[in-house]
Structure formats: C-alpha cells, structure tokens
Structure 1
Amino acid sequence: MYWVSWNQVLASHDKGGLDVGSLHAFNHGLLFKWIWRFVSQPNAIWVSVIQVLHGARAGIDLSPLQHKGVWFNIINTFCKAKDKGIIPNHILHFKVGDGRSIHFWLDNWRGVDALKNKYGRLFHLDTEANCLLADRCNDEGWKWSWNRDIRARNEALLNDLIGKLGNVVISHGTDSWHLCLDDDSDFTVSNTRAYIDDRLLPTTDVCTRWLKVLLRKINIFLWRLAMDRLPTRVNLARRGLEIEDTNCVSCNHNFESVQHVFFACSVASELWRRVRIWLDIHLPIFMDWSEVMPWFDSWQENEKTKQKVYVIFAALLWHVWRFRNSMIFPGEALKKSFLFDSICNFSFFMVFK
C-alpha cells in the first residue's frame, strides 16, 4: 500500500515534495549537456565529426537531420522538449559577434524565438529572407530592403520590432551559440533537471519544511503528517482495510485520527502541556498540524530560537507516534512516564550534536 504518489515524492521542497528529482528530467539534462558541449567546444575533434555527418549546425538550429544515430536522438529529444513546452524556446540562442553567422529572420538570436515567427508580415516583405544580421545592422543603424512600400500597419510592426531589438552591438568577434535557461547563469545539468521537474511534477499548497539538524526519517515523518498520510486506524479503514477497532490505542476514548493521536489524545495533550511549561512561551492549544505551522511562521522570534522550538515540536510528535506503535507491535514498550524526559534528551541531542 502506498500513501503518497511517486511524483509527489520526486517534487522539490517548494512544491511540497521530498526533492528527490526524477530520472526523466536528469536524463534530459545529461542529453542536453552534449548540445552545450557542442556549442561551447567548437574546436573539439568530436564536434568536427558531428559536423561532417550532419552539417555545420548539426541540427541545433532545429533543421532536419539526414542521418539517424545517437546525435539524431539527442537533437530529436531536444526538439520534442521544446515543442511540449518542457524547456523554453530561448534555451538555445546566438550570442552576437560580428553578425556574419546569424540569419536575421531565421535564427534565434534575441533569446526568445526566431523573429520570423513573431514578425511574419515583415519577414515576407523582406527582399532577402536569408539575410544575415550583418546585412541589416551596422554602425549607422538598421538597413532594410523591402519588396514594396511599408504601410501604416506594417510600419507600426516595424517600430515594435526596432523597439524590441534595442541597441544591438556588432563587434569584431565571431558569433557563437549559447545554451542556458536564463542569461544570468551557465548551463548545468542540475539546473536543467530542476527546471524540467518544476514543470512536470505536481504542486501542493504547502511547501515541505526540511530541517537539516533533524534525522531524515523524522523530516519525512513530519512531511507525511502534514499531508495526513500516516497509517492511523482511521486512515487504514478509509483505504478499505478491515479494522476491528478504530479507537485510539493510547487512550481508547476516540477514533484514532491524526488530529486525535497528536493533539487531542490524553497522552499527547499532557506532553504538549509540559512542553508549554518547559518553553515558558505563550503557546496556543493546537488541534491539528495545519494550526501549528501558521502560528510558527507568524511567531516573532529569531530564526535560531524558532529552529530549536521546531526541533522540540518534532521530538514530541515523533515520540507520540513511537509510543502509539509500541502499544500495537511487539517489542520494547515505551513507558508513558519517561516520554517527556526522552523528548528533552532527544531535542538536546538534535540541536547540539
């Protein structure tokens, strides 16, 4: 029986997951790294071999390839990812040098898309559709060549184009391809994987709170608690299991739901009372985990103190769950009278280890 979907487990902490990351996105990142190597290492011997087989641009400009093989599959995966919106159109674009390798209309050199796709009417009015950037821009400004006079509607479109182009600087360097998700960072596999996962994996309303000082199993336990995905008797009965008695095993006074076990049960209530006295802070009476985190986030205290209190909360909830399990499963039973002392010792160990 599974309690959380696998895609939710893979999702990032910001999306309410465990930030495992998907192999699908990781594989895409590794494949795209070969394209990054192709454009960043133009003098490498293997790049020359690819260009001999597939042409100077080798399909990175999305032109069809004639020969199938490994490189064909890499480019095909890249094209499909762009078509499905998994990666942005501007991920692969030209960086302007002397403008002698960039087709003004056909190539993506403004970081968004090829200009012909947005300014199709102007593209069809140009006398030379395959013109280079150097043919249309020099030190004096823009040079245009139209097959007929530009009318009012197309003139407004031309003014919009010039405004979008901004100040293009033609230098003496060579044009080069650039592969990245944004202009502020270079391509990395980890960033690409995170970008793809962010678009494909589900999102929950609450972000995952992950505290490094806590054991991993406790962080995961709190994550499941926040989503009500713990195997309490009520949750097991909801999933179709035949449960003879759904009452709380700790107090036997109410249905064993997440809310009761961790907040309303006499065992939990007494531990919360003693924690309030120990911390000596105004702590409201919580009835659900969804009430704890809003109070915690709005609490006006420094981050170091808030982290220590969060550790104490986690220790309390973890010991309540362990005590509940010890009442059901065979093994060493936890003594109720020692629970608070164990919470204190556990909290000090987590904070000062």
Structure 2
Amino acid sequence: MNDLSKAGLSFSDILKKNVKNGNDTLFWMDAWCKGEPLKDQLPELYQLEKRKRCKISQRVLADGFLWEWKSSPATDEQIHSLQLLYESIGEHRPSSDPDYWSCPLSGDGSFLVEVIRLKLDNTEPATNEVIIPWIHEIPIKVNSFIWRANMGRIPSYIALKRRGVGIPNASCPQCQLEEEDAEHILIRCPVASNVWEPIFKWCDIPKPQFQTIGELIEFVKTWGRCRKRRNNLICIIFGAMWILWKTRCEGVFKVKRTSHFQIIDSVKSVVFTWIRHRRVNCCLS
C-alpha cells in the first residue's frame, strides 16, 4: 500500500464497489458513497445505529428508507447529519442486479494487475528511492532478495533485533568488527570487500566507490552503452551479493568457512548458469 500512496492511488482508485441490490454491501462500513464509509462521514448517526453491520438493502428500500436507531436523531448536529445522509444516498434506487466490484483504472472496469503495474512504473520515484532492475536472466528469488536487501529487510542480526528476536550479540559472525546489517554483509564486511575488487577486475571495470547497496545498484544499472553487456554486469553484481548472503548463512548455520577465492568461483559459476540457461542466444562477452 505504500507504493500505491506514492503513486497517488488509494484503494478506492483501484477497486470501486458498484451497488445494485445492496445485498453484498455494508451500509455504514463499505466505501460505496463518495469514496468513504458513511460511518466516517457521519459518525453522529453511526453511533445511533443499532445494527452497525447492516446491508444497504436493509436500509434503502424501493419505496423509501428503513432506520433502526437506538434513539431518534434529536440534537441539531444529528438532524443536520441526517439531512446530509438523505442528500448523499437520496438518488440511489435498488435494482435486481447483484453488487459488483470494478476497476476505474481499466477501460472496461475489469481488474488487471498489468494496469496497476503500469501506473506504478509511470510514477516519478522519490529522489532517494532506488529502482531495482528486473531482468529475465536473474531468478526471481535473487531479484527479490536484492530488493529486500536494499531496504534493509533481509534477516540480518540487526533486522532480527528490530523485530523483537532475542539476539544476544548482533556483531557480524564473519568479522566481529561491527553490528551486522544488510549493508555490512554485502558491502562493508572484509569478506565482501575482498570479493568486490577481484569481481570488478574480472569484469575489466575500475572498481567504483560505493558505500551502500543502493549506490552499487545505481552504478551497474547505468553503466556502459551496450544493454547486453550492462545486463551481464547486473547479473554478476547481483550474483555476487546473492553468493555473499549464502556464504554468510552457511557460516552461521553450518559453521562453514569459505575463502574469498571460493566465493568468486561460485559467483562466476552461478552467473554463467543463469545466462546459459535463461537467456536466448546467450553471450557473456
């Protein structure tokens, strides 16, 4: 929902309840009138309602309205709210057709994920927001990992402590130099530092200066003019971060020590496998 709010969208912009016979729509709680639940528009009347989960068909009849108040509206505020209620729903006439949902963003009212995705993609991102490049060669689980790592949401010791998990010592299990978060595991840890220099040397690219995952992603997704070579580099960098994470987990759960030479060999192997099996007319040059 955060992504939707950034795009200037609300739930009612995506899905709209179209009321017909009123049998499947709550009178007070559903946002069927003016895009907001009546209980929020008219709280004074909602407090007087006996059956707060009543349906529209139980309140709006073909020949008028049927109310069930705890006590009749009496104060000036309640009477004024009742007048507003009549003005809001006065034109609604029940029909024999069932209520249904529609998507205002699509031309025919049908809900399509593609429509929402296009709306989000066309939204101008915040200046500090990093857009993750999603390319076919990289498995979805790896792309998802990079996306979560960039937001600091992989289960590092610091992230687990924030979620209330009892971690007695949050120091990095690989170097013990500082507390372990996503940036440390993939960027600052000496294990990672010993991997990035040879990786960029293998790619024949001068190692850029980066302090965060976001800075590294921004570099690789704008590097060079050839799209295929850029995608190769993205595969290699994402593959390196994926192997660094797997190495960390094997060290924690299997007490396995892995040298940076082994990590680099694993990166080359996994990236070659991705491109070899997931790209048509594969080329690593």
Does the TM-score normalized on the shorter chain lie above 0.5? yes
Q: Residue in 1 aligned with 2:230?
A: 306
1:335 corresponds to which of 258, 270, 273: 258
Q: Deviations over 1:108-144 (max 9, x none)?
A: xxxxxxxxxxxxxxxxxxxxxxxxxxxxxxxxxxxxx
1:344 corresponds to which of 249, 268, 277: 268
CA contact (8 A) 1:251 1:265 kept: yes
Q: Residue in 2 aligned with 1:232?
A: 156
Q: Residue in 1 aligned with 2:35?
A: 83
Q: Deviations over 1:323-352 (max 9, x none)?
A: 111111138x36324211110010111112
- Supply the distance in 1 between the matched residues of 2:30 and 2:116 (Cα, whole angstroms): 16
Q: Unaligned regions of 5+ residues in structure 1, if any?
A: 1-6, 16-23, 33-58, 60-64, 85-178
Between the two structures, name the one with larger relative contact order (CA 8 Å, sep ≥ 6): 1
CA contact (8 A) 2:224 2:230 kept: no
Q: Tell me the amino acid that sits aligned with residue 263 of structure 1.
A: I
Q: Unaligned regions of 5+ residues in structure 2, if any?
A: 37-101, 278-285
Between structure 1 and structure 2, the one with the greater Rg is 1
Distance 1:275 1:68, change over 3 A: closer
TM-score normalised per structure 2: 0.57
Distance 1:187 1:312, change over 3 A: same
- Supply the distance in 2 between the matched residues of 1:180 and 1:241 (Cα, whole angstroms): 41
Q: Residue in 2 aligned with 1:121?
A: none
1:270 deviation in Å? 1.2
- Supply the distance in 2 between the matched residues of 1:218 and 1:190 (Cα, whole angstroms): 26
- Supply the distance in 1 between the matched residues of 2:214 and 2:201 (Cα, whole angstroms): 22
2:180 corresponds to 1:259:
no
1:187 deviation in Å? 4.4
Distance 1:334 1:186, change over 3 A: farther
1:324 corresponds to which of 236, 248, 255: 248
Aligned-partner SS, 1:80: coil
Q: Which moved more, 1:297-306 or 1:312-321?
A: 297-306
CA contact (8 A) 1:209 1:223 kept: no
Q: Residue in 2 aligned with 1:194?
A: 116
Q: Residue in 1 aligned with 2:174?
A: 250
Aligned-partner SS, 1:189: coil
Q: Tell me the amino acid that sits aligned with residue 35 of structure 2.
A: D
Distance 1:268 1:188, change over 3 A: same
Distance 1:243 1:83, change over 3 A: closer
2:141 corresponds to 1:217:
yes
Aligned-partner SS, 1:83: coil
Q: Residue in 2 aligned with 1:88?
A: none
1:260 deviation in Å? 1.7
1:226 deviation in Å? 0.9
Q: Residue in 2 aligned with 1:160?
A: none
After TM superposition, the structure 1 = structure 2 runs for residues 50-199 of structure 1, keeping only pairs within 5 Å, are 68-69=22-23, 73=25, 80=32, 83-84=35-36, 185-190=107-112, 194=116
State the superposition RMSD in angstroms. 4.1
- Supply the distance in 2 between the matched residues of 1:265 and 1:277 (Cα, whole angstroms): 19
CA contact (8 A) 1:234 1:246 kept: yes
1:224 deviation in Å? 0.7
2:198 corresponds to which of 250, 271, 274: 274
Distance 1:263 1:206, change over 3 A: closer
Q: Tell me the amino acid that sits aligned with residue 259 of structure 1.
A: E
Aligned-partner SS, 2:32: helix
TM-score normalised per structure 1: 0.47
2:209 corresponds to which of 264, 279, 285: 285
Q: Deviations over 1:278-323 (max 9, x none)?
A: 0001231322112112323442322211111111111100111111
- Supply the distance in 2 between the matched residues of 1:77 and 1:292 (Cα, whole angstroms): 47
